[in-house]
Copies of this chain bind each other. A is one copy, B any other.
Amino acid sequence: MSDRSEAAGIALGERLLAGDRRTLARLLSHVEAEDAVGRAGLTRVYPATGRGHRIGVTGPPGAGKSTLVNAVIGVYRDLGRQVGVLAIDPSSPLTGGATLGDRIRMVDRYADEGVFIRSLASRGQRGGLARATIAAAHLLDAAGFDPILIETVGAGQDEVAIAAAAHSVVVVQVPGLGDDIQTIKAGILEIGDLLVVNKADRPGAEITARDLRRMLALGTGAKPWTPPVLLTSASTGQGVVELQGALDVHRSALETTPAGHGATGSAWDERVRGIAGGEVRALLRITLERWLDRGGRDGTVVAAIADVASRRRTATDAAEALVRGAVRDLDPAG
């Protein structure tokens, strides 16, 4: 990292902390590009982060996540809160790719200084999207946004990593899942802090909600938090205020519940540690993948693979040799 890039990043970070919102877009671009300016800026602002409520919103395509997010933004704005939104779903009408009608309904959010919406797309580099999204959430946090809503389609490794970066995860479903409900329930019960049956004006919404509640009741053991199942309709406004309220309740519950498993602090602290752990692990994984993509130092991986292909060494022996000898070459900044 050059001193010049580092100084530029620190300067941008300080302007962001001083309240200059225009700096945010610039710093986000550096963070997305994974350059030295972005890294230094993030390092500068990072100690000021940790205040904003990070909310993941996930669910299948067509579940109406973006429209629901748009409606929830309105409730937060009515409460005077500054809302940051990161949209990972490339088809999100919040950031493009939707019908003209959707865009017109969304566009008022862009005129609102208290709302910052950013779309993030894959940038080619492996793992880049998850890395950029988590870093972008830190920047929005440092800029004072609370909540920070992260909308993903909930499929693929990147999205899973992103969902793991939230304090609260909203899983959005639609009525009439039918037989599929058996298939998806395990995932829902694991990652969702709040379950939403959206498009609740459609037939079957109550049945879907009842099925979800029944499955939650089947969960083993006493849990400190039972995910509420909420019925919403972004088009009629049904349940949107309640959803925002439930998110505040979830945050409070995390803050007032002791951490489990004998850990120190609150459930909130525990979740913050979980987020940090996910971030560190994801970065280590990305580091390994990129190192492999480069073939290792001086082609050591390529040479090891040739040995395995020609039966001179087993993959186990080759992998061990690579780890012992060459892994010092790994560099997360690379």
Residues of A within 8 A of B (CB): 39, 42-43, 46-50, 134-135, 138, 269, 272-273, 275-277, 279-285, 287-288, 292, 301, 304-306, 308-309, 311-320, 322-324, 327-328, 330-333
Asked if B272 and A316 sit within 8 Å, CB to CB, the answer is no
**A328: which B residues are within 8 A, CB to CB?**
324, 327-328
Q: Could you say which of B43, B275, B311, B330 contacts A314, with CB atoms under 8 Å apart?
A: B43
Asked if A320 and B332 sit within 8 Å, CB to CB, the answer is yes
Docked Cα-Cα span, A312 to B292, in Å, equals 30
Nearest Cβ on chain B to A104's Cβ, whole angstroms: 29
**A280: which B residues are within 8 A, CB to CB?**
301, 304-305, 308, 315, 318-319, 322
Asked if A47 and B311 sit within 8 Å, CB to CB, the answer is yes
**A279: which B residues are within 8 A, CB to CB?**
308, 315
**A277: which B residues are within 8 A, CB to CB?**
305, 308-309
Can you offer 29 A-B residue contacts whose CB atoms are under 8 A? A42-B314, A46-B311, A48-B311, A49-B311, A138-B314, A273-B306, A276-B306, A276-B308, A277-B305, A277-B309, A280-B304, A280-B305, A280-B308, A280-B315, A280-B319, A283-B319, A285-B288, A287-B323, A288-B288, A316-B332, A319-B332, A320-B331, A320-B333, A323-B327, A323-B332, A324-B328, A324-B330, A327-B327, A327-B328
Asked if A309 and B42 sit within 8 Å, CB to CB, the answer is no
Docked Cα-Cα span, A331 to B322, in Å, equals 10
Considering the complex, give the chain B residue whose CB is closest to the CB of A288.
B288
Docked Cα-Cα span, A57 to B141, in Å, equals 48
Docked Cα-Cα span, A275 to B315, in Å, equals 10
Asked if B316 and A42 sit within 8 Å, CB to CB, the answer is yes
Asked if B49 and A315 sit within 8 Å, CB to CB, the answer is no
Docked Cα-Cα span, A242 to B272, in Å, equals 58
Known: A309-B272, A327-B328. A319 touches B284 (CB 8 A): yes
Q: Could you say which of B276, B317, B319 contacts A287, with CB atoms under 8 Å apart?
A: B319
The winner among A39, A42, A315 for most chain B CB atoms within 10 A is A315
